[in-house]
Amino acid sequence: MKLVPVALAVGALGAGVSLALLRMIGLFTNLLYYGRWATSLVAPSISNLGAASIFIPVAGALVVGLIARFGSEQVRGHGIPEAMENILVNGSKVKPRLAILKPLSSAISIGSGGPFGAEGPIILTGGAVGSVVGQLLKLTSAQRRALLVAGAAAGMSAVFGTPVAATLFGVELLVFEWRPRSMILIGLASATADAIRLGMSSAGLVSPQPLFPVHSHAQLGPSGLIGAAVIGLATGLGAWVMTGAVYGAEDLFKKLSPYLHWMWWPSIGGLVIGIGGYFQPKALGVGYSTIHAELLGQLGIGTLISLVVVKMVIWAAGLGGGTSGGILAPILMMGAAIGGLAGHELAGASIGTFALIGMAGSLGGVTRSPFTAIVFAFELTHDSNILLALLIAATVSHLVSVLTLKRSILTEKVARRGFHVMREYMVDPLEATFVREVMDREFFTVTSDQRISKVYSAAPEGSSVRRQRLFPVVGDTGALEGVIPWSTILLHKDDENAIVKDLMAPPALITHPDEILRRLADRMVSESVGVVPVVSGQDRNVLEGMISSFALLDARSKHLEEERKAERILKLRNLAIRTSRDKPEAA
């Protein structure tokens, strides 16, 4: 509860920083391509510069390389894997200078024609703001993580006007848990950022319209939904190509390591961007106007083909070279182009509708976040009639991506740095298992008046002792009086005067049969205890069993059995016989 006001503040700060980043991108684009001082977000144009425009991305990439070399290497890349790495490895601690250097380098990179989106840098910048706020307070790593993701979601919400998708994005991709302690903070920060955006739109500072306003489409019929499935298949294969292109380019640049410092790699990527942009200028920059034109069905087949090819080549070269920029806008552009191309051959909807479906399918396949893709596409357009088609396309694309790719474009980079990212949310088997289900009911007990030497002689041999490791001391009524470790018995086994009651101790922990294993496991870790007596009864002192850390593995084996053991419960023949027997007899 105490972090709710902090989350609101992070939402406001994230919104301010993110909207400022958009202004910076507009400033550099206007300066470099139009020679004017303005902050409005415009598309790069080569009409005034001709062939000289090829060198603008080169110059911008050179500056980014210098910032990375002498400022912070984390400004390289598209931002989301870097945010993941900070969460997984650095305890959600982001260096404060990254909150300045990342937006600056991204604004230069995108403003100089880089074919990237602003969302990745916005996410990392907003996350840096949340992390810095968290570091100023006395918080746990989990609390800092929630604030980092809250800042990231706030930035995305403020720029795109997609508070629900931003919250889902934070949960699906960044926070690595679905728990109230994080979701509440992320949702509140995202809502705060969008409220600030709405306030700015009423003041005329930003547009109140969705980012890509389109005419509401009619509900799709069977042919349109089949087309959505086809586009899902195409964008799923496109996800495989896009991911392979980015990391293939990265591998090629790594081969330059013996000959050229990585600081210069962005400039090489910038040259590829400049040449590609000279032949297809619509592929340069964030491309929001181009995406909107795709969704309105205003681009022809030749333009769509060149967009897919050129955008993928220059985008992969730029990211592979290590420049700074996001991936969502390029994915949306290429996905919309794939959908638009398929729309020329499919029936049941307009070309623009299929472009919108392709946009969601591509995002769902490349990032493997289908729910975010569906809601994101809806909030970007406010077209509610398309939701079923979006669900089909994103799901099919996700299926193809899972079958063709080991990891997504986001987690692959983190995995290459030696860290494992778990993206599948499931019920913890420890949360679904009670102590009574796995406790040992057969165990060795001793009495307080026994000699240690006699206990040692009577103790079971082999794995039973290693598994129990702690012997309960019980009275005549079965009540637990204390415990004595096996290590103590080994130490005093040759002392004929040593008696159990002189060496036993109260149990560090006790549990009861109805306790959830997750709660018990947390207590065992906290107290560094490996074996715990299980007691019940009105006074909670009647010994029922023993539970050790091995039982936690037993719970896991139960879960694996549910996943792997296949059995046929009903057979058609037996079902028919039972059905006939259940019929009432004729009068």
Question: Which 3-state string (H, E, C) describes 60-72?
Answer: HHHHHHHHHHHCC
Asked if residue 218 lies in contact with residue 352, where contact means CB atoms within 8 angstroms, the answer is: no
**Which residues are 484's β-sheet partners?**
471
Instruction: Kindly report, residue by residue over 30-89, the tens digit of the pLDDT.
Output: 999 998 998 888 888 888 888 888 999 999 989 988 988 888 777 776 666 666 666 666
Query: Residue 585 pLDDT > 60, yes or no?
Result: no
Query: Residue 576 pLDDT > 70, yes or no?
Result: no
Query: Residue 199 pLDDT > 70, yes or no?
Result: yes
Instruction: Kindly report, residue by residue over 132-174, the tens digit of the pLDDT.
Output: 888 888 888 888 888 888 888 888 888 888 899 999 888 877 7
Give the containing element (helix H, strand E) for 354.
Answer: helix 351-367
- Closest residue by Cα to residue 514 from 479, 540, 482: 540
269 Cβ contact list (under 8 Å, min separation 6): 61, 249, 253, 317, 318, 319, 320, 321, 322, 323
Q: What does the pLDDT read at residue 359?
A: 94
Just give the CATH number of 435-564. Answer: 3.10.580.10
- The answer to whether the pTM exceeds 0.85 is no
Query: Please, what is the Cα angle at 118 between 117 and 123, to 5 degrees?
Result: 120
CA pair distance 124, 106, nearest whole angstrom: 11
Query: Residue 463 pLDDT > 60, yes or no?
Result: no
- In this prediction, residue 177 has a pLDDT band, given cuts at 50, 70 and 90, of confident
Instruction: Kindly report, residue by residue over 106-121, the tens digit of the pLDDT.
Output: 889 888 988 887 777 7
CA pair distance 544, 536, nearest whole angstrom: 7
Just give the CATH number of 222-416. Answer: 1.10.3080.10
CA pair distance 417, 415, nearest whole angstrom: 5
Q: What does the pLDDT read at residue 189?
A: 92
Shared fold status for 4-202 and 222-416: yes
- CATH superfamily of the 4-202 domain: Clc chloride channel (1.10.3080.10)
Summarize the confidence of residues 531-552 as an average pLDDT: 83
CA pair distance 155, 225, nearest whole angstrom: 33
Q: Is 446 helix (H, G, I), strand (E, B) or coil?
A: strand
- In this prediction, residue 212 has a pLDDT band, given cuts at 50, 70 and 90, of confident
Query: Please, what is the Cα angle at 581 between 576 and 585, to 5 degrees?
Result: 130
164 Cβ contact list (under 8 Å, min separation 6): 190, 375, 379
Window from 98-112, 235-249, 356-370 with minimum mean pLDDT: 98-112
Query: Residue 561 pLDDT > 80, yes or no?
Result: no
Query: Residue 587 pLDDT > 50, yes or no?
Result: no
Q: Give me the half-sphere count of Cα atoms (radius 13 Å) on the Cβ side of residue 176.
A: 16
CA pair distance 162, 187, nearest whole angstrom: 11
Q: What does the pLDDT read at residue 291?
A: 92
148 Cβ contact list (under 8 Å, min separation 6): 83, 86, 87, 92, 94, 127, 128, 130, 131, 134, 174
Asked if residue 6 lies in contact with residue 144, where contact means CB atoms within 8 angstroms, the answer is: no
Q: What does the pLDDT read at residue 307?
A: 92
Query: Residue 507 pLDDT > 70, yes or no?
Result: yes
Summarize the confidence of residues 173-190 as an average pLDDT: 85
Q: Is 573 helix (H, G, I), strand (E, B) or coil?
A: helix
CA 103 to chain centre: 22
Instruction: Kindly report, residue by residue over 276-327, the tens digit of the pLDDT.
Output: 999 999 999 888 889 999 999 899 999 999 999 999 999 999 888 888 777 8
Phi, psi angle pair for 450, to nearest 5°: -75, 150
Domain range list for the chain:
4-202, 222-416, 435-564
Reading the block at residue 508, the tokens are 């560090």
Give the containing element (helix H, strand E) for 452.
Answer: helix 452-458
Q: Give me the half-sphere count of Cα atoms (radius 13 Å) on the Cβ side of residue 22.
A: 21
CA pair distance 81, 102, nearest whole angstrom: 14
